[in-house]
């Protein structure tokens, strides 16, 4: 029941997935993101993905310090590692293809509030809050990536978005196996 409620609330955060090339994962496309409403610009995609990625890394770094649960720490370390790979892939593609896009260096207000809430969380409530934030972020990342790959305006970025989805799904699978009440 808790997991169903959590999954139902996972529709709005935007977090960039991790690295490309997780061939062992075969992620199915989410039905909600199968038909993009309009073409998403590369600038819009980069903006949303970057802010989400910053949150994902920063919140996971907090988890590495605050969590007392080894499974949570292991997951957080995997997220940090994968996100740094994804950052490098995006930056490399932008440079190689000479794609002009404003790349944010700070969180937007919504993501900053979530980060502040995690920082303020007590030891007893931290793991649950972190895992719920990560589930929401990963579900939304799936929708963002699928939306861009199916309706984006740059073929190279579309291919990158498609290639990143399996890692996001892998993270979702790991989260689903964890106790959200941690």
Q: What is the pLDDT of residue 101?
A: 86
Q: What is the CA radius of gyration of the chain?
A: 16
Residue pLDDT tens, the chain, 182 long = 333 333 333 332 333 333 333 333 333 343 344 444 468 899 999 999 998 899 999 999 999 999 999 999 999 999 999 988 988 899 899 999 998 888 899 999 999 999 999 999 999 999 999 999 999 999 999 999 999 999 999 999 999 999 999 999 999 999 999 876 54
Please report the sign of the dihedral spanned by the C-alpha atoms of residue 8, residue 13, residue 14, residue 16. negative
Give the pLDDT score at 38.
66
Contact between 112 and 54 under an 8 Å Cβ cutoff? The reply is no
Homologous superfamily in CATH for domain 39-177: Ferritin, core subunit, four-helix bundle (1.20.1260.10)
**pTM (two decimals):** 0.76
For the chain, which residues make up each domain, given as ranges? 39-177
Residue 181, pLDDT score:
54
């Amino acid at each position: 029941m808790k997991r169903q409620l959590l999954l139902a609330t996972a529709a709005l955060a935007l977090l960039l997935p991790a690295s490309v090339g997780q061939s062992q994962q075969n992620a199915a496309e989410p039905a909600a993101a199968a038909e993009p409403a309009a073409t998403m610009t590369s600038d819009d995609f980069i903006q949303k993905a970057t802010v989400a990625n910053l949150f994902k890394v920063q919140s996971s770094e907090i988890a590495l310090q605050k969590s007392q649960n080894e499974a949570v720490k292991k997951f957080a370390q995997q997220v940090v590692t994968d996100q740094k790979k994804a950052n490098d892939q995006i930056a490399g593609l932008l440079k190689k293809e000479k794609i002009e896009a404003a790349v944010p260096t700070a969180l937007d207000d919504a993501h900053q509030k979530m980060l502040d809430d995690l920082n303020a969380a007590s030891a007893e409530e931290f793991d649950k809050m972190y895992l719920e934030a990560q589930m929401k972020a990963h579900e939304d990342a799936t929708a963002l990536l699928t939306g861009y790959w199916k309706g984006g305006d740059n073929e190279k970025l579309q291919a990158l978005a498609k290639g990143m989805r399996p890692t996001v799904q892998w993270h979702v699978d790991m989260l689903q196996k964890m106790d959200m009440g941690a």
